[in-house]
Amino acid sequence: MNLGPLINSSSIDCQPGISPDELSLYFRSNRSGSRSSRDLWVTRRTSKAEPWGAPVRLGSELDGGPGVSSDALSLYLAADWPGGIGAGDIWMATRSSVLAPWGEPVNLGPVINSPSDDGHPDISAQGLALFFFSRRPGGYGGRDLWVTTRAAEAADWREPVNLGLTINTAYHDGCPSLSADEQVLYFDSVRPGGFGGHDIWQAPIHPLVDLDGDGTVNLKDFATLAQSWRRNESSVDIGLSPLGDGVVDFRDLAVLVAHWLADTSPPIYIQWLGHASVKIWTDDVVVYVDPRNLGISPHDATVVLVTHTHGDHFAPSDIARVSTEETVFVAPPDVVASYGSGQALAPDETLELVGATITGIRAYNTNKPNHPRANNWLGYVIEIAGRRIYCAGDTDVIEEMKTLEAIDVAFLPAGGTYTATAREAAEATAYFRPRLAVPYHWGDIIGTQRDAEEFARFAACEVKIMARGEILGSTEWGTEFSLFAHWALDEEAGVLVADSAGSADGVLSGTPYWLPAEGAVGGALRLDGPGNYVTVPAVLNPSDGPFSIFAWVKGDLPGAVILSQVGGANWLGADALSGYLGTELVGNGRRTGPLWSEAAITDGDWHHIGLVWNGAERVLYVDALEVARDAQGNLSGSAGDWAIGAGAALEPGTFWSGLIDDVRVYRRAITIP
C-alpha cells in the first residue's frame, strides 16, 4: 500500500531503509526543503500501530542506503561528500541514544572505500558484516556486491571480499539488503532472466557446515570444530548465523548438528549464452564452452573448451574476452594448432584439472558432410562437484551417446541442417536419460523457437528451454519445467480453481465442496454427481504433439468421466459396466477407437491415473503401472474448454461421484518405469 502524501511527495522518494525496531524510516528525496537531489530524510512513529510522522531532513548528497544498526545508534550512508576517497564512499554517523541527534558522518576509510564507486551499505543485525556494492577492480563487471566483516563491533573491519559468481554477474548487481535473520540477501540486478530493467532478486545464505570440504557433515567436521573451541576462528564460526558471532561455542555446534550427514555439495550454475555457447560454474571453477558473441569481457574463465574449428564455435576474440593468464584452453588438436596454444584432447580422453574433470566425447554427422567423424571433433562431459554436464557440440545422434552415464544436464543441438533435428535430438535423450535436457544451437544462424519446443515435446526427460543469458542453478535441475497446467485442488472455499503452473484457472459449477485435509496430495474436491464439475479453459490441442495427464481420483460410480473436452471427446473416464479406466480421445484414421484398460478405478479407493500420448501410442496408467497401450499415430485436434468431473456433453450419468485431486498436464510424454 502507498504510504500516503505525508511520506510521499510529488518529487522523488526512494531508497528506503527501516530501523530494526521499525519506528524510523529513512529515505532519499529531492522534495521541497531539500538542498540537493539526494537528501536524506527520516520519518518516525512512536509504535508500529501509530501512523508515520512528518519527514525531517537529515543531510545532503546521499548516494545510497541507508543501513541502520540493530541498536539504531549507527547509520551507514553512501555519498560523494568532500574528503572522500573515491567517486562514492561509505560513511557512518553515530548517536549516543535513540533520542539524541545524529553526529557528523565519518568516512569508513581506505580498507572499505576504494577510488571507485562504493555505495548502498547494509549492516547485518549482529553488526559483524557490512554489505555494499562497488565498481572496484576484482569484480565481474558493472557494480558487484561485496562484504566486509569484523570479529566484534569494536574490532576493525577486514578487507572486503567479492561475493563471487554465485551472486555477481557481468551485469550491474547492487543495492544489497540482508534479512533480519541473516538467512536471505536481497539485491537488484539487470542480469538476464528478469522481467525488465532493474529487477529484485534474492539469494539464500547457507552456513558453511562442511568444515573439511568432503561433501558431508560428519564426525570429521565435529573434530575440526572442537579443535577451535572457545576461540575466535572464522573458518569454523558458523553460529549464531552464517556470519558467525566471533567465538566457537555451543551455537556453532547447534548449527553443525542441524545439518548432520547433509550433502553439502556446492551449487552449480549453467547459463546459455546463445547458439552453442554455454557457461558452467561454481564458486571456484568457471568453464566456457564455445564462447562467442559475448558483448562483455568478464575475464573469469578457469577453462575454455572449444568443440571444433567452425567460426560459430571457435572465436578467438571472444576467448580473449573470458580468459586470464591462468585460463586453460582445451580443444581438439586442429583447434589447438589454429589457436596457437592449449591442451589438445582426443575423443574418450579425460583431463583432470583443479576443480573440474573434462572428458572428450565424439561429435560428428552420420548423414551429412559438415562434421566428419575422422576430424575427431568433440562434445564434452564437464564434471564439477559431482555433477556432470554434457555439451554435445555439433553432432547427429550417434552410438557414443549410448555410453554416457549419470548426466545431470545435457545440452543437445536441435536446430537441424548441420546437426540433429529437434525430433532426433529429443530421441537421443532416451539413450542416456539425463536429469535435464536443454536444446541449443538454435535461434542464431540456424534453428528457431519452434525447434526448441518440438525438442521439449518429444524428449524422454525433463526439458528446459532457456532464454539467451538465462541462468539455472543445480537446485532447479529437478523442476518440472514441462508442467503446463496444475490444479492442486487445495482451496478451502470459493468457486475459483487455481492453475498453479499456467493461466487456466477454473470455475466450479453446481455445488462441489472443498476438503482441505482429505486429498491424496493435500486437499481435494468432492463432486456429488449431476451438475457438479469444474470448467477450465482449453490447455492444449491434442494434435500438437506429445502430452501427459495425471490425476488422483476416488470414486464409486462406473460410467463417470474424469476429464473431457466440452463438445468434444471424453479424455479420461470409467467404463459404465466395469469401472475400468479408458480414453475416447482418438485420431483421424478409420481404425481408431477408444482405448480401455482392465483396471477398475471406481472401487472407492484412491487411484493415481494417467493418459500419455507419445506421438505414436496412447498409454494408460493406474497407480504407476501401465494398464493399456495401443498405436495411435495422430490425435484429432480440438480447442474447446475442458470439464473436470463431467462428460463432453454434460449428460446425466457422466458426472463424477467422489473426490478428484492434483490434476497435472505436461507438454511431453512422461514415461513411468
Segment 339-365, tens digit of pLDDT: 999 999 999 999 999 899 999 999 999
Tell me the CA distances in angstroms from 293 to 142, 191, 234, 269, one per residue in order.
Answer: 19, 17, 42, 20
Architecture of the structural domain at 61-204: 6 Propeller (2.120)
State the pLDDT at residue 575: 95
The pLDDT tens digits of the residues spanning 53-110 come to: 999 887 655 555 678 888 889 999 888 888 899 888 999 999 998 888 888 889 999 9
SS3 assignment, position 548 = strand
The pLDDT tens digits of the residues spanning 475-488 come to: 899 888 999 999 99
**CATH (residue range 207-264):** 1.10.1330.10
State the DSSP code for 591. T
* Mean pLDDT along residues 178-194: 85
**Where are the strands (E) in 95-216, listed by range?**
106-107, 118-123, 129-134, 144-149, 161-162, 173-178, 184-189, 199-204
3-state SS, 429-472, equals HHHHCCCEEEEECCCECECCHHHHHHHHHHCCCCECCCCCCCEE
Say yes or no to pLDDT of 262 above 80: no
CA angle, 353 as apex, 349 and 359 as ends, to 5°?
25
| Calculated CA dihedral for residues 390, 394, 395, 396, nearest 10 degrees | 120
For the chain, give the mean pLDDT. 91
234 or 347, greater pLDDT: 347
Which positions ≥6 away from 48 have C-beta within 8 Å? Answer: 22, 23
Say yes or no to pLDDT of 672 above 60: yes
Q: Of 231-245, 320-334, 465-479, where does mean pLDDT reach its minimum?
A: 231-245
State what percent of residues in the chain have pLDDT above 70: 98
| Nearest Cα to Cα of residue 612 among 673, 556, 547, 664 | 547
Say yes or no to pLDDT of 310 above 60: yes
Q: How confident is the model at residue 456 (pLDDT cuts 50, 70, 90)?
A: very high
State the pLDDT at residue 60: 59
Q: How confident is the model at residue 169 (pLDDT cuts 50, 70, 90)?
A: confident
Tell me the CA distances in angstroms from 240 to 160, 262, 266, one per residue in order.
Answer: 21, 19, 22
Q: How confident is the model at residue 242 (pLDDT cuts 50, 70, 90)?
A: low
Report the relative pairing of strands 533-536 and 350-353 from DSSP bridges: unpaired
**Where are the strands (E) in 81-239, listed by range?**
89-94, 106-107, 118-123, 129-134, 144-149, 161-162, 173-178, 184-189, 199-204
| Nearest Cα to Cα of residue 90 among 44, 146, 34, 41 | 146
Q: Do domains 61-204 and 483-666 have the same CATH topology?
A: no
Identify the CATH homologous superfamily for domain 269-476. Ribonuclease Z/Hydroxyacylglutathione hydrolase-like (3.60.15.10)
State the pLDDT at residue 62: 55
Report the relative pairing of strands 642-644 and 533-536 from DSSP bridges: antiparallel
State the pLDDT at residue 20: 77
Grid coordinates given for 668: 511431453
| Nearest Cα to Cα of residue 559 among 662, 633, 658 | 658
Say yes or no to pLDDT of 601 above 90: yes
Domain ranges of the chain: 61-204, 207-264, 269-476, 483-666
State the pLDDT at residue 196: 76
The pLDDT tens digits of the residues spanning 620-662 come to: 999 999 999 999 988 988 888 999 999 999 999 999 999 999 9
How far, in Å, CA of 234 to CA of 373, rounded? 54
Full-model pTM: 0.70
Residue 360 β-bridge partners: 380
| 318 alpha carbon, distance to own chain's centre | 27
State the pLDDT at residue 265: 75
Which positions ≥6 away from 673 have C-beta within 8 Å? Answer: none
Say yes or no to pLDDT of 301 above 90: yes
Q: Of 62-66, 370-374, 663-667, where does mean pLDDT reach its minimum?
A: 62-66
Q: Of 182-186, 466-470, 599-603, where does mean pLDDT reach its minimum?
A: 182-186
* Mean pLDDT along residues 253-278: 88
Q: How confident is the model at residue 529 (pLDDT cuts 50, 70, 90)?
A: confident
State what percent of residues in the chain have pLDDT above 90: 63
The pLDDT tens digits of the residues spanning 415-450 come to: 999 999 999 999 999 999 999 999 999 999 999 999
State the pLDDT at residue 59: 65
State the pLDDT at residue 206: 79
Overall fold of domain 483-666: Jelly Rolls (2.60.120)
